[in-house]
Amino acid sequence: MTVLLEELGKKFAERWFTLLVLPGALYVCAVAAARQLDGFAFGPLTAWVKGLSVPHNGASALLYVVVFGVVAAAAGLAASAVGALVERLWLAEDWLSWPSPLRRAAQLRVEARQARWVVVERKEADLLERYGNGLTSDATPSGVTELDVQLALRRVLSIAERRPARPTWMGDRMHAVVAGYQQECLLDLPSVWPHLWLALPDAVRAEIKEAREAVSKATTLAGWAVLYVAVAYLWWPAFLLVAGLFLTARQRGRRAVEAYALLVEAATRLHAGDLARSLGFDHTGPLDARTGQAMTLLVQGQGHLIPLTLGWPGQR
């Protein structure tokens, strides 16, 4: 037990140092340097660095290191907190409960995305129909190629897989999984998920945890982008860094959410039947509407469980 606790302590310290202290130390140094810079004139910074003195007293040096480490860790915690807020905005799982100004803005965003999605989805359906008619008919070819259809489909998916119901692409990507199972087999996935999570094999849970952590890392990077606005305020060229960090975080976030949604969907499809049998239902084969609805009513009858396991978007 002692060895186990020591190993856990080492891993915790390593993660704490890697995820909080190192990025925080870089941020503190960036803020300190930005205070000395004036445009692209690096002379003041060079003079400031040369003027720094290292304490010769061991206790003073240790105090400097401790204070620097605490400030760096605080910056890391701040980035993580801002990242949690960014994640809430990106996934927009509970946007209907946001404060009134944000909720109104989100509603306008949802309506705009719905309008765009309807237009491009109709164009994609029209192109697909014309392309299919051109393949099966002896009439004059429609002029629609497979590439045209693929590009039209990409335009649809760039907005949302299904009719938008959230103000962001990432939120709609997760919502598409929930809506898909609701439509396919009347399964309310957020309610059933805690039970399904406990029934999943360890290897599957590990994959989902890894994908979930990738989402959190992307949102934390966005949190750092927000904090670096302070550096850009002190030294305007850093706005390029802020833009680069945020665009990178957004791109990573989209990829991570896509992978995470696919894993949640696949895990549900592969193991929902096992859960149904564990709950006492006589079920074989793919999940049908009767079993899905019965599972939903069973778990909701025990109280509408909030998905707090480490496999659902609301948990960091």
At 11-57, the pLDDT tens digits run 545 565 566 678 888 888 888 888 887 777 666 666 666 666 666 66
Q: 132, 120 in Cβ contact below 8 A?
A: no
d(CA 117, CA 162): 9
* Confidence at residue 50, expressed as pLDDT on a 0 to 100 scale: 64
Contacts of 66 (CB under 8 A, 6+ apart): none
* Confidence at residue 235, expressed as pLDDT on a 0 to 100 scale: 87
Whether residue 311 is predicted with pLDDT greater than 50 in this model: the reply is no
* Confidence at residue 303, expressed as pLDDT on a 0 to 100 scale: 39
List pLDDT tens digits, range 274-303. 899 888 888 888 888 888 988 998 888 753
DSSP-derived secondary structure for the chain:
-HHHHHHHHHHHHHHHIIIIIHHHHHHHHHHHHHHH-BTTB-HHHHHHHHH----SSHHHHHHHHHHHHHHHHHHHHHHHHHHHHHHHHHH-TTGGGS-HHHHHHHHHHHHHHHHHHHHHHHHHHHHHHHHHHHHH-SSS-----HHHHHHHHHHHHHH-SSS--SSSHHHHHHHHHHHHHHHHH---HHHHHHHHHHHS-HHHHHHHHHHHHHHHHHHHHHHHHHHHHHHHHHSGGGHHHHHHHHHHHHHHHHHHHHHHHHHHHHHHHHHHHHHHHHTT----SS--HHHHHHHHHHHHHT------STTSTT--
Q: Which residue would you say has higher pLDDT here, 149 or 246?
A: 246
* Confidence at residue 9, expressed as pLDDT on a 0 to 100 scale: 47
Q: What is the pTM of this model?
A: 0.82
Whether residue 73 is predicted with pLDDT greater than 50 in this model: the reply is yes
* Confidence at residue 18, expressed as pLDDT on a 0 to 100 scale: 62
Contacts of 219 (CB under 8 A, 6+ apart): 83, 84, 86, 87, 90, 249, 253
Mean pLDDT of 180-209: 92
* Confidence at residue 56, expressed as pLDDT on a 0 to 100 scale: 61
- Crossing angle of helices 202-234/58-91, nearest 10°? 110
* Confidence at residue 51, expressed as pLDDT on a 0 to 100 scale: 63
Q: Which residue would you say has higher pLDDT here, 45 or 139?
A: 45
Percent of the chain residues topping a pLDDT of 70: 78
Strand partners, 41: 38
List pLDDT tens digits, range 81-121. 999 999 999 999 889 999 999 999 999 999 999 999 999 99
